[in-house]
Structure 1
Amino acid sequence: MSKKLIAVFLALVLIFSLAGCSNSNSTKTSDKTTSTTTDNNSATKTEAKQDERDVRYPAFDFGGKTIKVGLWWDYYYDSDNTSINDDPNLSNAKTAQMRLDNVRRIEKKYNVKIKFENLTWDGIIKSINTSIPAGTPECDIYLTDLQFGIPAVAHGLAQDLSKIAPKNSDLFNDNKIVRPLKVNGGTYLFQEQGLQTSGIFLGYNATMIKELGLEDPQELYKNGQWTWDKFEEYCKKGTRDTSGDGVADVYGFGGVFTDLVNGLMMNNGGSIAATKTEGLSSKPTMETLDFINKLYNVDHSARPWNTQDWNDNLLAWSSGKVMFWTAQAWLLKQEADKASSNGGSGLPFDYKIVPYPVGPSGDGKLYSPVQGNWYMIPVGVKDADKVYQIFEDFLDWYNGDTSLRDDPTWFESCFQNEDDVKLALDCDQNQKLDIWSSLSSSGFDFGATIWQPIIVDKKSTVAQAVEAAKPVLQGALDKFWSGSQQ
């Protein structure tokens, strides 16, 4: 406390000394110099940060042109906006102002306008598939979902960024601003960097686990004991007839097959359509399908698949019908918020998450599929190198301070404890691209060729279904990568 008082006393002495000195003209000059020096030091620091962007992205005159970015929602902010209040969902005035100021910075630096155009979901797909092949792309940049972004690459509609982006671009160096996605040997897609929040994992009913006297799955994972065998054991114990009618009404597992297949397969070193050659019959993938078959058809510990209602499979967990489920952050928050809305008391149980268990062919790392939205520059865009540089510079609205960009508030609100937040982020650190779910229009439908005969109809063994599906999958891959229009 005495040190603090001394510091305050010295500060007061300095203030009064400066105030007394202000009576003389000569001291006024000295005062002004001191003040200017302080301001200049502060300004120099700011300019130094700004200079980092200007060194990486040298200014040039783009002739007053407009760079049009197509997407399927309203984006803020672009050159049409003059106030942060233009955004009806404004939540953070500080970062909103930084984004708006950044628009003005880019406009001045390059003599350019930035325009984000909401084309709607169907509209952006139509624009990509019609305007680009015609040689007159409607937009200079498109934001794509992988459902239509990967086909656009396969059909030669996207430019290879490795051939147009500046060599000192963040894309090929630090990846602090953008994240590249390699497809078919080239870098055609990129997205804005941020928290890795699209990982997949298993959710579990922690209350149910405790009631059954089972060890917490997170502890098993921490101790390297979270394996397929342990997951199977838990699923069996979680499957029960609570009503006494002789029919199970609570199952050890329930969820959607897309995430289940990816979660188990990728963490077992397998793939289905990660390359131009089918991987369905590979050892890791066959092991995955055999294990899923065991859960559903041998142990009967997985909730029967509802062919009529996808959401019944996806949301069974929130009504306590399953102990483990296929989970993502948004899904947990959606159901928890729904249960708390309109005076509700929330979900009647505690929930937690755990990574997908490691399979016998897995390497022990955590994997999730590549997801999210990805930008591309279409073939036919003139001065694509300049368009890319301007846009990458535009994306660094936070001037290197990623804490402004990566606000974890929403993500953290999806979970009930900090351990879950960390695990969810860990699950998304290693991403794998496997396009099997994007091949239906090319002739391969996993649900119809694999899931239906094995899990729903129960008329085929795994080996039989895979043998029948292999040529179908290979044909779809050949068509997909040949550039044939769908």
Structure 2
Amino acid sequence: MRKLKGFSILMLCLVFVLTACSGKGGNNGTTTPANSTPTNGAAESTPEPVVEEDVPDLDGRVIRIAAWWDQTPAGETQSELNRLEKIAEVEKKYNVKIEFVNIPYDEMVPNFTTSALAGEPFADIIQLEYKLALPLIKQGLILPISEFTDETSNINNGANLVEKYPPIAGDYYSFESPNSLGAGVHYNRNLFKDLGLEDPKEIYARGEWTWDKFLELAKDATRDTNNDGKIDVYGFSGWAPDIFRHFAASNGVKLADEVSLEEGLTSPGSIETGEFLNRLYNIDKVVKIGTGNPMEWDEYNTFKSGDVAMFTTAEWNLRDLSFDFGIVPIPKGPNAVEGITYADYLKNGKFIGKGVKDAKLVYKIYEETLDIPMLEEYSGQEYLESLYGFEDDVDMLRHHISGTGLISVEDGFPDFPAWPFVNDIVVNQISAAAAAETYKAQAESSLKVFDQQ
């Protein structure tokens, strides 16, 4: 278990080495006279003719890339500076202006829908969560990747600049720069050490990281450490709907299939997951509920008090903590599917809408802005190492969690009853089987909404 020393220091050393080795001409400080004879005595070959690229002039067109946060490179790192330089180069090459538009999350879909239906999408490339993209795809307002890329596109050749994101509704629509993110169970390293608990990574390495082992750890961590008759350290915390989705996925459950339109909320695996949640919250009582309501989104932050051993939260919520933390995959359920460890229900990526003028050229230009020197050992290194302080956590994310998400779009179907199902189990303490019976018809009918349009 090695603590990371920081990406910025590594890059500073790399830049120094490259500068020292590169000389003024970029050829180790040596030059070759233009008319010199090759040193091996071989005849000089005739150079291949250079074919100039036919670059279209877009007459100052503004290409807009919209998201619910500002995606403009800040220029605070060398990679960001290189990207800004590349954007300026591409703008000059095509006579365009690339504009990053920051649109409030709640306004993204209404703005896009209205403008796309009018035949003029307000942005050429938009950031969308999969669950919000699904209805737009069903309405034919989003283009599949095959309509704006070709065999020469990087996304179809190596994909080191841009990669296809997982399919949705039976085809590939979304694209994004490669990364190594994913959801797992985080744990408070300090608390584990103080309580004398076994590191979850050791359990995972033995192939024993299951629901049963997770519950055993959570029960052991839930303690009255000062003997005042009150529990002051808990085994687990998180937002109940989030916990349910992740553990359902780790038990082989897809809650809603957007292709077959089959619901899995009331499947045996889902009921089994509901029963496990009931154990966590109501039987073994290992979950700390900071807000008093397990269905409140702010339960996402309960772990920050430092008295919770394990927790689920997104990576962006891990900054400025008072303790060291680690990560392992969501533990395997009894019916786990190989290669699936968590529910990727917040998956988001870039999409191009129907009606975008010269969509192929727009995508080509966007892809070119990403063609900058690779300063990282792997894509996303700088971001990961700014969050995770230990090498084994970065390795765990890259090699055991990233790419194991089950795309979950049940929230893309209006009235799909995932939330009330979990609420009945965790808050109202209704059996999972009874809750499944209550919401079965609603789950089935909600998936037919697009067939009725």
The TM tier, using the shorter chain, reads 0.7 to 0.9
Return the match for 1:452 from 407, 423, 434. 423
Matches within 5 A, 1:206-217: 206-217=189-200
More displaced, 307-316 or 287-296? 307-316
Q: Counterpart in 2 of 1:23?
A: none
Structure 2 letter corresponding to 1:432: L
Deviation at 1:247, TM superposition (A): 4.2
Q: Measure the CA separation in 1 of the matches of 2:445 and 2:340.
A: 31
Structure 2: which 5+ residue stretches go unaligned?
1-29, 37-49
The residue that corresponds to 2:188 in the other structure is 205
My pick for the range that moved more, 404-413 or 313-322, is 404-413
User: Secondary structure of the residue that 2:172 maps to in structure 1?
Assistant: strand
Identity across matched positions, percent: 30
SS of the equivalent of 1:280 reads coil
Correspondence 1:393 to 2:368: yes
Give the equivalent residue in structure 1 for 2:277.
292
Matched, 1:329 2:315: yes
Quote how far apart the aligned CAs of 1:269 are: 1.6
Q: SS in structure 1 opposite 2:387?
A: coil
Matches within 5 A, 1:19-418: 34=33, 59-64=54-59, 65-76=61-72, 89-92=74-77, 94-181=78-165, 182-193=167-178, 195-197=179-181, 199-242=182-225, 244=227, 246-275=229-258, 276-304=261-289, 306-307=292-293, 310=296, 313-334=299-320, 336=321, 346-347=322-323, 350-365=324-339, 367-370=341-344, 371-394=346-369, 396-398=370-372, 401=374, 403=376, 406=379, 408-418=381-391
Match of 1:13 in 2: none
Structure 1 residue 376 displacement after superposition: 1.3
TM-score, length basis structure 2? 0.79
| Deviation of the 1:243 alpha carbon | 5.3
The amino acid of 2:385's aligned partner reads E
Following the alignment from structure 1 to structure 2, what is the Cα–Cα distance between the partners of residues 249 and 32? 71
Residues 265 and 302 of structure 1, relative CA distance in 2, 3 Å threshold: same
- For the structure 1 residues 59 and 104, does the alpha-carbon distance in structure 2 shift closer, same or farther, using more than 3 Å as the test? farther
Q: Confirm or deny: 8 A CA contact 1:254 1:322 kept in the other structure.
A: yes
Contact 1:200 1:259 in 2 (8 A): no
Letter in 2 for 1:292: L
Question: Any conservation in 1 of the 2:340–2:406 contact (CA below 8 Å)?
Answer: no
Does the C-alpha gap of structure 1 residues 239 and 60 become closer, same or farther in structure 2, counting only changes over 3 Å?
A: same
| Alignment check: 8 A CA contact 1:128 1:152 kept | no
2-structure distance, mates of 1:113, 1:471: 51
CA distance in 2, matches of 1:241, 1:383: 65
**Matched-pair contact (CA < 8 Å) for 2:331–2:341:** no
Distance in 2 of aligned mates of 1:273 and 1:144: 19
Distance 1:36 1:258 in 2: 72
Q: Is the 8 A contact 1:162 1:186 kept in 2?
A: no
Task: State the 1:311 CA deviation.
Answer: 5.8
Query: Cα distance, 1:356 vs. partner?
Result: 1.3
Count of paired positions: 405
Q: Does 1:430 align with 2:404?
A: yes
Report whether the alignment pairs 1:474 with 2:444.
yes
Query: SS in structure 1 opposite 2:254?
Result: coil
Indicate if the aligned counterparts of 1:144 and 1:375 stay in contact, CA closer than 8 A: yes
Measured in 2, the distance between the counterparts of 1:100 and 1:164 equals: 24
1:95–1:404 Cα contact (<8 Å) kept: no
Structure 1, residues 260-316: CA drift from partner, whole Å, max 9, x if none? 223322222211014321011233323222222222222222234732883652222
Between 1 and 2, higher relative CO (CA 8 Å, sep ≥ 6) is seen in 2
SS in 2 for 1:66: strand
Change over 3 Å in CA distance of 1:463–1:315 after alignment to 2: same
Greater Cα radius of gyration, structure 1 or 2: 1
- Per-residue deviation at 1:96? 3.7
- CA distance in structure 1 between the partners assigned to 2:292 and 2:257 by the alignment: 28
- Secondary structure of the structure 2 residue equivalent to 1:454: helix
Residue 246 of structure 1 deviates from its aligned partner by: 4.0
| Conserved 8 A contact 1:204-1:324 | yes
- Alignment check: 8 A CA contact 2:143 2:351 kept: yes
Q: Matched residue of 2:319: which SS?
A: helix
1:420 is aligned to 2:405: no
CA distance in 1, matches of 2:257, 2:288: 29
CA 1:109–1:357 in structure 2 vs 1: closer, same or farther (change >3 Å)? same
Change (3 A) 1:475 1:309: closer
Pick closer, same or farther for the CA change 1:365–1:59 going to 2, 3 Å.
same
Distance 1:167 1:322 in 2: 50
Which secondary structure state, in structure 2, belongs to the residue aligned with residue 106 of structure 1? Answer: helix
Cα drift, residue 419 of structure 1: 0.9
Aligned AA (1:475): S
Provide the secondary structure at the position in 1 that maps to 2:309. strand
Change (3 A) 1:311 1:241: farther
Contact 2:124 2:362 survives alignment (8 Å): yes
Question: Does the Cα contact within 8 Å between 2:211 and 2:333 map onto a contact in 1?
Answer: yes
Q: Is the 8 A contact 2:252 2:336 kept in 1?
A: yes
CA contact 1:170–1:178 (8 Å) conserved in 2:
yes
SS in 2 for 1:378: coil
